[in-house]
């Protein structure tokens, strides 16, 4: 047995085994490198402003994929377009990395109508803006209060506080004024646009 381990045949077999093992290790590492895309990166494209219907064509041949994870409603922005993304544009990522997108929604979310009645006109204006609603026509009518909101309407109908309403809806206000505020008879109701009125101090 000892003689065999000292023979040329043993050393030849040992050399062949070592060469085979080295080739196997090299082949395995090369395959893993190609499979995982090690040290191969692409830059994330800028999805901002892209329309939803064009996304598939936009990512073609860019070595990235995408997933829409949330929608954001903003009446000032074009509907159905990309608003934000993660990772950011220009970030280096591995091939076929998924980019997460936030898009603008075409449907306004529901909210609860705030209470404007008995508040001052200035307060009502501020609440309407804060809640993402739009201020429509402001009318005035004789009342015991001067400058308070008498009623709140949308689409020609009274809307009660706490009722569901779409964000961005237009709210019309009826403001009370004391009788001596009017030059006309006490039963008259004045209709003015928002540009004609100045909020009470």
pLDDT averages per 10-residue partition of the chain, 201 residues = 59 76 79 60 93 94 93 84 94 92 89 96 96 94 92 95 94 90 49 41 36
Q: Which helix (H) or strand (E) holds 83?
A: strand 82-86
Count up the domains in the chain and report the number: 2
Q: What is the predicted pLDDT for the residue at 137?
A: 96
Picking from 80, 104, 128, the residue at the C-terminal end of a domain is 104
In a domain, 2, yes or no: no
Angstrom distances, CA of residue 176 to CA of 47, 173, 183, 187, 193: 50, 10, 15, 12, 15
The angle formed by the CA atoms of residues 145, 125 and 171, to the nearest 5 degrees, is: 95
Domain boundary among 104, 124, 154: 104
- pLDDT in the model for residue 36: 56
pLDDT of residue 101: 96
What was the pLDDT predicted at 2? 55
Domain with 166 in it: 110-196
> Looking at residue 193, what is its pLDDT?
42
Q: Return the number of other C-beta atoms located less than 10 Å from residue 49's C-beta.
A: 11
Coil, helix or strand at residue 22: helix
Task: Provide the sign of the torsion angle of the four alpha carbons 14, 16, 21, 25, taken in this order.
Answer: positive
pLDDT of residue 77: 83
Q: Which CATH number do you get for residue 63?
A: 3.30.10.20
Task: Quote the pLDDT of residue 54.
Answer: 95
Query: What pLDDT, on the 0 to 100 scale, is given for residue 67?
Result: 95
Predicted local distance difference test score (pLDDT) of residue 16 = 80
Residue at which a domain ends, from 88, 104, 120: 104
Q: Is 36 helix (H, G, I), strand (E, B) or coil?
A: helix
Nearest Cα to 79, choosing from 48, 110, 51?
51
Give the burial class of 35: count Cβ atoms within 10 A of its Cβ; 0-12 exposed, 13-18 middle, 19 or more buried.
Answer: exposed
Query: Would you call the peptide bond into 71 cis, given omega within 30 degrees of 0 as the criterion?
Result: no
163 is a domain residue: yes
């Amino acid at each position: 047995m000892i003689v065999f381990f000292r023979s040329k045949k043993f050393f030849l077999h040992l050399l062949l085994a070592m060469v085979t093992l080295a080739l196997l290790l090299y082949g395995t590492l090369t395959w893993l490198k190609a499979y995982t895309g090690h040290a191969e990166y692409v830059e994330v494209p800028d999805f901002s402003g892209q329309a939803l219907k064009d996304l598939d064509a936009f990512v073609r041949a860019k070595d990235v994929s995408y997933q829409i994870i949330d929608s954001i409603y903003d009446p000032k922005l074009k509907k159905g377009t990309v608003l934000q993304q993660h990772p950011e544009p220009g970030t280096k990522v591995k091939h076929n990395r998924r980019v997460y997108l936030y898009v603008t929604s075409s449907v306004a979310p529901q909210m609860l109508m705030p209470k404007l009645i008995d508040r001052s006109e200035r307060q009502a204006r501020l609440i309407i803006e804060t809640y993402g609603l739009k201020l429509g026509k402001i009318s005035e009518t004789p009342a015991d209060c001067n400058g308070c909101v008498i009623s709140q309407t949308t689409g020609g109908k009274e809307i009660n506080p706490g009722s569901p309403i779409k964000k961005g809806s237009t709210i019309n206000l009826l403001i009370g004024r004391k009788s001596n505020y009017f030059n006309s008879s006490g039963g008259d109701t004045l209709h003015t646009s928002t540009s004609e009125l100045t909020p009470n101090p």
